[in-house]
Homo-oligomer: A and B are copies of this chain.
Amino acid sequence: MPAFTPHRVHFGGDYNPEQWPEEVWAEDVRLMKEAGVTMVTAGIFSWARAEPRPGEWDFGWFDRVMGNLADAGVEVCLATMTASPPPWLSHRHPEILPVTAEGRLLHPGSRQHYCPSSPVYRAHAVRLVERLAARYADHPALSMWHVGNEYGCHTRQCYCDVSADDFRRWLRERYGTVDALNEAWSTAFWSQAYSGFEEVLPPRAAPTFPNPAQQLDFHRFSSDALLACHLAERVVLGRVTPGVPVTTNFMPHHKPVDQFAWAAHEDVVSLDFYQDPHDPETHLGAALAFDLMRSAGRGAPWMLLEQAPSAVNWRPRNGPKPPGAMRLWSWQAVAQGADAVLYFQWRQSRGGAEKFHSAMVPHGGTGTRVFREVAALGRELASVPQLAGSRVAPPGTALVQDWNSWWALELDSHPSTALSHTERFLAHHRPLFEANVPCDVVPPDRELSGYRLVIVPSLYLLSEETAARLTAYVRDGGHLLVSFFSGIVDDCDRVHLGGYPAPLREVLGLTVEEFWPLAEGATVTVRGGTGREKGPIREARGDLWSEAVRLEGAEAVARFDGGELDGVPAVTRHGYGEGVAWYVGTRLEALATRALLDTVREGAGVGPVLPGLPDGVQATVREADDGTRFLFLLNHGTAPARAALPRPMRDLLKPGGTAEAHVTLPPRGVAVLT
């Protein structure tokens, strides 16, 4: 498997020269040098230009683009050009168009207008990739492959007849017999038993809730259908250019694609992340997504393959990144393990749907704040080549995430449809981030023994095998925190019988007798124990959820106070084997979650990267092969922040500076200390 081993943190962006006359290209290369660009991603939307009519190829212009870049020493992450089929393809083959659950046909005119299961689309895509790989296999500019683009961004699932056929094929492979499918899908309910696979359909719009297991499997199938598109191209590249690393750009908090499953096929994991400058907590979402990327790649450096130099254009209201924000958020990616900082896109489009998306070279040209900040970051990254290849120091804490559980958690017909997988993960990641406690985000089958603390936030779908591994993890001395509505169903969305959460009852030392979801806007009071029971929570509010917990070995750390559940345990602690298992039965407000997690991780012996930091300062450590440790400090707050260092250290971003025992970061300030 070819490795991604850059000599420095890459810097650059998507390059779409086909939008501009050839005379602009020379300026492009000149400005790239000025901006410190080392890598561009080219060709993402070039299919219609490269194959203007079926089987008619035009690569001459692209040869010149590649030549220019090679001459300038800019590496190319070459796209396979298959993200947006040209109009002629859907015109000749309208059967490639996707269809929604409501039966609405999605037409060409934007992008990603293909059914992922379409053999016609796949065949044309592969034919193009064959040509492309053969032509540029030995080109000096070729550095990496970028397959497809943002899989599942718009067309998350397709419900057309072609997809239906492919879904049936997938089900046959999964279940073998229709009896097994009937069993897995609980079709005895509502008279849904199939007499043959040919009767099965995607969960199209129905009079009321479609079968949940059918919906769950359709999520799985849809991720796999996109993956099959990806692999069809990837196989060609692996054959034709075996030494060139391959990636595709994942999206953050992105439900359609099981990124743990996909990451196994990537030589390097990549992410697109678009902060919302109108959201003061946008860096928190980034922090979680970055940790997930790094963990998906098992700790190896990853690529920030797209971000905006400033504003985007696709939210209802698109604020620009204020001065310093783009630099701060770029360094956040590096601090959390990225070895590439790229943008969408190099030059701002004059027309089309993204002309108001910021670019490295804005409409207003180089005499703009945006270009100045881009070029400054380019220079800055060039000054610290030693960062490349270093890895984030292995965290002692892990959050367990599972796309299967995500899909199942957010199905309809639940005790409460207000539960959001992403909200639940952010709520548990945030107190770690704020405390500067590094953490991984791992799939349920990842080895856990290396972690001191494992957190399981509302992992609704949990196999007995995983539950057994979590139980053993605690028995052997691990610390575990589980929050409500975890361990409820098996892989087929069938309830684990015997009292919720049946497979975790032993390790948690309790049973949940009844779910007690709260009405919109309703809250409960949670009060901590007194005397011996005195724990991390004095009094806190919960909302969204409560439940009737019955202790079976665990002790109550806090209880509901008032209401129908007055006196019922809300937070519990269970010493089990060598370890400890905690449980939380409501959605605690943020401060209480922070206090609880501080207590839990202190018990687990998990500390921050650097203690005593002011609020809003993020700290991470990357370690180089030679043992050098780089301490990153980032000030996400609005006030200057002064931090005491463990020893006098030098800020690599201040060339010529001396080692100091303290560092003061202005708002949006960054230091890389060693």
Q: Mark A484-502, 1 if CB is under 8 A from B, else 0.
A: 0000000011110111100
A250 within 8 A of B: no
Instruction: Find A353's partner among B365, B370, B413 (CB 8 Å cutoff).
Output: B413
Interface code A207-238, partner B: CB below 8 Å = 1, 0 otherwise? 11111111000000000000000000000000
Q: Given the complex, which residues of B lie within 8 Å of A109, measured CB to CB?
A: 192, 201, 203-204, 206, 210-211, 214
Does B84 contact A191, Cβ atoms closer than 8 Å?
Answer: yes
A654 at the interface (CB under 8 A from B): no
A139 at the interface (CB under 8 A from B): no
- Interface segment among A48-56, A461-469, A472-480, A578-586: the answer is A48-56
Q: Which residues of A in the span 66-102 have a Cβ within 8 Å of any Cβ on B?
A: 81, 83-88, 91, 98, 102
Residue pair A186, B107 in contact (C-beta under 8 Å): no
Q: Mark A349-364, 1 if CB is under 8 A from B, else 0.
A: 1111111100000111
Look across to chain B and name the residue whose beta carbon is closest to the beta carbon of A215. B109
- Find out whether the CB atom of A189 lies under 8 angstroms from the CB atom of B19: yes
In the bound complex, CA of A351 to CA of B192 (Å): 12
Query: A372 CB to closest chain B CB, in angstroms?
Result: 11
Residues A500 and B356 in contact in the complex (CB < 8 Å), given A111-B191, A370-B514: no
Q: In the complex the two chains form, is B206's CB within 8 Å of A107's CB?
A: yes
Q: Which residues of B contact A83 (CB under 8 A)?
A: 191
Q: Which of B91, B98, B208, B415 contacts A356 (CB 8 A)?
A: B415
CB-contact partner of A190 in B103, B211, B353, under 8 A:
B353
Most buried by B among A185, A207, A499, A520: A207
Task: Check B189 against A107 for contact (C-beta < 8 Å).
Answer: no
Residue of B nearest to A105 (CB): B103
- Comparing A254-262, A316-324, A448-456, the segment that makes contact with chain B is A316-324
The answer to whether residues A351 and B513 also contact, given A106-B205, A418-B317, A519-B317 and a CB cut-off of 8 A, is no
Q: Is the CB of A515 within 8 A of B207?
A: no
> Closest residue of chain B to A198, judged by CB?
B91
Q: Indicate if A199 sits at the interface (CB-CB under 8 A).
A: yes
Which size bracket describes the interface of A in this complex? Answer: 35 or more
- From B205, B210, B494, B518, give the contact of A317 (CB < 8 A): B518
The interface stretch among A307-315, A392-400, A622-630 is A307-315
A110 at the binding interface (Cβ < 8 Å): yes
Residues of B within 8 A of A513 (CB): 364, 368-369
In Å, the complex CA distance between A370 and B500 comes to: 14
**Do B106 and A206 touch across chains, with their CB atoms under 8 A apart?**
yes
Asked if A664 lies at the interface with its beta carbon under 8 angstroms from chain B, I say no
Q: In chain A between 172 and 207, which residues have their CB closer than 8 angstroms to a CB of chain B?
A: 185-196, 198-201, 203-207
Q: Could you tell me the distance in whole angstroms from the C-beta of A216 to the nearest C-beta in chain B?
A: 11
Is A608 part of the contact surface with B, judged by Cβ < 8 Å?
no
Docked-complex contact B189 and A353, CB < 8 angstroms: yes
- Judging by beta carbons under 8 Å apart, are A207 and B112 in contact? yes
Contacts of A519 in B (CB 8 A): 278, 317, 319
B278–A208 touching, CB < 8 Å:
no
Across the interface, name the chain B residue whose C-beta is closest to A86. B191
- Whether A87 and B319, one on each chain, are in contact in the complex, defined by CB atoms closer than 8 angstroms, is no
Chain B positions within 8 Å of A103 at CB level: 104-105
- Annotate A578-602 by CB proximity to B: 1 below 8 A, 0 otherwise: 0000000000000000000000000
Let me know if B351 and A212 touch, CB within 8 A: yes
Q: Give A390 Cβ to nearest chain B Cβ, in Å.
A: 34
Q: Is A113 interfacial (CB-CB < 8 Å)?
A: yes
Q: How far is the CA of A198 from the CA of B90 in the complex (A)?
A: 12
Q: Which residues of B contact A310 (CB under 8 A)?
A: 514
Contacting pair A98 B207 (CB below 8 A): yes
B352 near A201 (CB under 8 angstroms)? Answer: no
A494 and B353 CA atoms in complex are apart in Å by 10
- B-chain residues with CB within 8 Å of residue A355 when the two chains form the complex: 186, 212, 494-495
Q: Considering the complex, give the chain B residue whose CB is closest to the CB of A185.
A: B351
A614 at the interface (CB under 8 A from B): no
Query: Across the interface, which residues of B come within 8 angstroms of A205, CB to CB?
Result: 104-107
Cβ contact within 8 Å between B413 and A313: yes
